A and B are shown apart, each in its own frame.
Chain A
Amino acid sequence: MTGTAAVLTGADAGSGMPVLELREVDVLYGRVQALRGVSLTVGAGEIVALIGSNGAGKTTTLRTISGLVRPSKGSILLRGQPIHTLGAEKIARLGVGHAPEGRRLFGRMTVRENLDMGAYSRKDRAGVRSDFERVYELFPRVKERSGQLAGSLSGGEQQMVAIGRAMMARPTVLLLDEPSLGLAPIVVENLFAVIREINQGGTTVLLIEQNALLALNTARRGYVLEVGEVATSGPSQELLRSPEVQRAYLGM
């Protein structure tokens, strides 16, 4: 697909320091263990896909990176610095943007206010203004709706605002949790084009996607989570060829 070439120009995960690294991360929800020794790396400028069936722990992985959930074991490094002990808002300020599962917009605030909130911690007004322009450029629909209450938008529009809001912090890593959920195929296609565009702008992306084909075609590398553990990982093309992945996630 169109994005593959662009991704291949990105830095190799193996070379240099990864932007984001999880080492042997365990997560417990009470007595339920959601993640078990999860290790993964995301290199600068990459798009990495995280696939797995329902309840595998994908969302939990992203929430742990963002600091919404604390790992009970293991460590998370952002550009080599441990972040797993920091509060979520600190991690966000360090450059982790997160468009969460279910969008989680501020429904009783306008679209513009939602984007404003994305830039909450930023002081550089000029930069924020230009990022507004950039988000509006990426999502012209968002610009049209900027005065409207976010709760009244369509699902696709809400997803655009969610990504836009995460982009407003000018993150180094963007975590996207099932951006295609509930959207029409044509909208999904547009959205993924924009995601690739964002990545080309220099933002590293970690992407959760139920549609494994779409995910692996967009990403350079992928990780397969099964019951809280990394089952396999590797370059997208390899995963696409792997019989287990084909059987379990591609329906072949």
Chain B
Amino acid sequence: MSDETTASAARATAGAIGHGTLVDPRGLSARTDRAGTTRPAVVRTLAFLRKLYGLVQRYFPQFLIAGIAFAILKVYANGGLTLMGAQIKNALVLGAIYALVAIGYTMVYGIIELINFAHGDVFTLSGFYAFVIAGLSGGAIGSLATHSGIGLLLALLIIFPTTMVAAGFTGVVIERVAYRRLRDAPRLAPLITAIGVSFLLEGLMLVIFGADNRPTKLSSWITGRAVRVAGVDVNWKDIFVVATALGLMFSLGAFVRITTLGKAMRATAQDRSASLLSGINVNRTISATFFIGSALAAAGAIVYSINYDLIQWNLGYQLGIIAFTAAVLGGIGNIVGAGVGGFIIGVISVFGGQLAGGEWSNSLVFAILVIILTFRPVGLFGVDVTTRA
């Protein structure tokens, strides 16, 4: 093997020098070769690159963690504890929202291997649902929320379930109308359909709610500072966002682990026809997956509104891609991975933005996407394909 590649590399050089012929393509794919003293530089470089690739691939999580730790420490060195603390807070809040959206991507991918491009727009649409519901009967829920502690609790108990159920049904309808018939079609068909659904939803929202961002007025629901740690104001709002995300994620984890429907989801994700043979209603299970994924996106949209007080027709486009990156980072199909991935992406975009400049935040996130797809397509907590029965 080694001899032959050396030989072919030599032939390649000879050919290139002597006759000006095309380089033997095999010469470019030469394996590492210890004996070769006459190897051309290109082969040596390629061997080195391949080694580097293998190294990065193998220690990807370590590299990532080291990079993040470095970024956080660098921010600490530059701006001190307060800046570091403030940015960690920002990263957690942003990460919580990304995580909630990422879960929907990962669940749907896990069960029907579809990148549901419309998911980001379901997030946006849910924001508008919350906006409309909060504005019903002259903003009665809003006045309730700002009235007293109990009022706030009641308002949250109204807005969360109603919005999440409405969003859940939206997801179910999308699956039923757009994806179900294409379930056994070639992969590209549902993918393109998903992009179409995304455009359709964006167009609808643009027409109905206009091009401008709409203030949702949800930011006044939760106000005030909870604690001040190391000079960082941690507001109730921040705590609420992160706690809601974590609470919902743990509930989902328990649901999928313990309940019959949750198990049916996992079973369907692993083997659809075996699930059918076990009497699992696969259609209903897939519907349930869309319902839950969309409902979590809706929860994300509500906490987004409470935190940022705005919603806009195209908000989910970019946020969707970022959340999708989080899902890929965690290992698409892996719910825990999506949650963790969301927070990691939050950290990357905030600390990356701090260190490299805000204009680089998104580019960094997408660079991460490319890096994962190159070095570790299965993500951090990737599904081990060999254990698939």
Q: What is the CA–CA distance of A29 and B282 in the complex, to the nearest angstrom?
A: 22
A108 and B270: CB pair below 8 A? yes
- Residue A179 lies at the interface, judged by CB distance under 8 Å to chain B: no
A149 and B273: CB pair below 8 A? no
- Residue A105 lies at the interface, judged by CB distance under 8 Å to chain B: yes
A104 / chain B contacts, CB cutoff of 8 Å: 271, 273-274, 277, 389
B280 and A109: CB pair below 8 A? no
Q: What is the CA–CA distance of A156 and B265 in the complex, to the nearest angstrom?
A: 26
Using C-beta atoms within 8 Å of the partner chain, give the interface range for chain A: 20 to 34
* CB neighbors of B among A80-96 (8 A): 87-89, 92-93
Please judge, given known A-B contacts A100-B273, A103-B389, A106-B270, whether A113 and B279 are in contact too, CB under 8 Å: no
Interface string of A141-183 (1 = CB under 8 A from B): 0000000011110000010000001100100000000000000
State how many angstroms separate the Cβ of A117 from the closest Cβ of chain B: 5
B383 / chain A contacts, CB cutoff of 8 Å: 108
B270 and A109: CB pair below 8 A? yes
A113 / chain B contacts, CB cutoff of 8 Å: 263
B278 and A152: CB pair below 8 A? no
Please judge, given known A-B contacts A117-B264, A120-B260, A151-B389, whether A106 and B279 are in contact too, CB under 8 Å: no
A120 and B279: CB pair below 8 A? yes
Q: How many A-B residue pairs have CB under 8 A?
A: 83
Using C-beta atoms within 8 Å of the partner chain, give the interface range for chain B: 20 to 34
Identify which of B260, B273, B274, B281 gathers the most chain A CB atoms within 10 Å of its CB. B274
Q: What is the CA–CA distance of A183 and B383 in the complex, to the nearest angstrom?
A: 28
State how many angstroms separate the Cβ of A147 from the closest Cβ of chain B: 14
Please judge, given known A-B contacts A120-B278, A120-B280, A169-B279, whether A107 and B388 are in contact too, CB under 8 Å: yes
B264 and A106: CB pair below 8 A? no
A203 / chain B contacts, CB cutoff of 8 Å: none
Which of A67, A151, A165, A169 has a CB less than 8 Å from the CB of B388?
A151
What are the 7 A-B residue pairs with the smallest beta carbon separation, nearest first? Answer: A151-B387, A107-B389, A88-B276, A105-B389, A92-B279, A121-B279, A104-B274
Interface residues, chain A, CB within 8 Å of chain B?
A: 66-68, 87-89, 92-93, 97-98, 100, 103-109, 113, 116-118, 120-121, 149-152, 158, 165-166, 169
Interface residues, chain B, CB within 8 Å of chain A?
A: 260, 263-264, 266-267, 270-271, 273-282, 383, 386-389
